Every structure is written in structure tokens, then in C-alpha cells.
Amino acid sequence: MKNNRTTLALAIALAGTVALAGCNRDKNVDTPMVDQAPAPMNMPSSPSPSLDPAMGAASVRVSSVTIGTNAAADRSVAAQSTVGTRDRIIVSVRTDGRANSAEVGARLTYQDGQVVDEETVTLNTSGAETTNIEFSNSGAWPAGTYTVQVMVDGQPAGMSQQVTVR
């Protein structure tokens, strides 16, 4: 009885493999997939919107970016151009528009071009919103100039900001 089940299972697996192999019969086997160019993607003309199919052609736009060290209850941050070596760096991103699951991120880069950190948060909004992204260092930040670039769904959004650590 056990032998029949094993034989039946192997026969079904073999039949499935043959059926799947037949699905690819029209493709040129000699041409590797990497040689085929990917289809071009239509990207939005504006660098900052986040298209949201669930809400039609809704979008999120970055209206302002502020860097500081302390956030108020409403998530606003007092702008600071200089922070201390042990301060946390808060990037306050003000957005307008609406979307479900828009990825809002910030990349912190040191003056030599080295990416220090990159953080992303998911934004669900139907209007104006402030989102804070925090960067912290368990030790001390090396003194120097840092650049923050904000992104929406992986695309640069707004002007980059600089902050000096002293």
C-alpha cells in the first residue's frame, strides 16, 4: 500500500514537471534572460509624488524639511543648522496630499559622501502630515557636515538639507 502511494506521488510530480516544461516551449532556450532589455517604466514627471492606485492618481508632496534635535507634541521641529556630537538628529518632513503606504525616507550622508544611515517610514495620509525620521548614534557623531536627502517612494523629494555636528 505504501509503495503504491509513493509511486502515485512520483507519477504526479513527473506529470507536473512535464506540463510546466511544455509551457516554455516557444521561448528561445539559447538566449539567456539577462540579455533581454527590461521594458521601460513610466515614471511620474514630478520627483516627489507617490502614486496611490487605491486612491486614484493621489500623491504625496514634500512641502518642507526641517532638521533639529527635539520634536514638539505636534511633531514640529525647531530648525537647527548645528547639533552636538551626542544629539539625535531629527528630520521633520512636512507632506501634503494623500496616499496609502507611501514610503517616506531620509538618507544621512557624511561630508566625504559616505552614507551614514537611511531610515524609511510608511505614510498613510489623506492630507497635510508631519513625519519625523530620527538618526542616533550610540557613541558620538564625528564632527563635520552632514547632508540629509528626503525621498518619497525611493525618489528624491525636495532640496537636500545640511547640518553641522560640533
- Specify if 15 maps to a domain: no
Q: Indicate the DSSP class of residue 57.
A: S
Q: In this predicted model, which residue has the larger pLDDT, 31 or 28?
A: 28
How far, in Å, CA of 48 to CA of 146, rounded? Answer: 22
- Specify if 23 maps to a domain: no
Domain containing 81: what range?
53-165
- Specify if 137 maps to a domain: yes
pLDDT tens-digit series, residues 39-92 = 333 333 344 444 434 443 348 999 999 999 999 999 999 999 999 999 999 999
Q: Using alpha carbons, list the distances in angstroms from residue 62 to 39, 103, 105.
A: 29, 12, 11
How far, in Å, CA of 78 to CA of 101, rounded? Answer: 27
- Specify if 32 maps to a domain: no
- Specify if 134 maps to a domain: yes
Total domains present in the chain:
1
- Specify if 16 maps to a domain: no
The dihedrals phi and psi of 82, each to the nearest 5 degrees, come to -130, 135
Q: Using alpha carbons, list the distances in angstroms from residue 69 to 6, 10, 81, 135.
A: 66, 64, 10, 10
Model-level pTM? 0.65
- Specify if 11 maps to a domain: no
CATH code, 139: 2.70.50.60
* Segment 7-11 long-range contacts (CB within 8 Å, at least 24 positions apart): none
- Specify if 39 maps to a domain: no
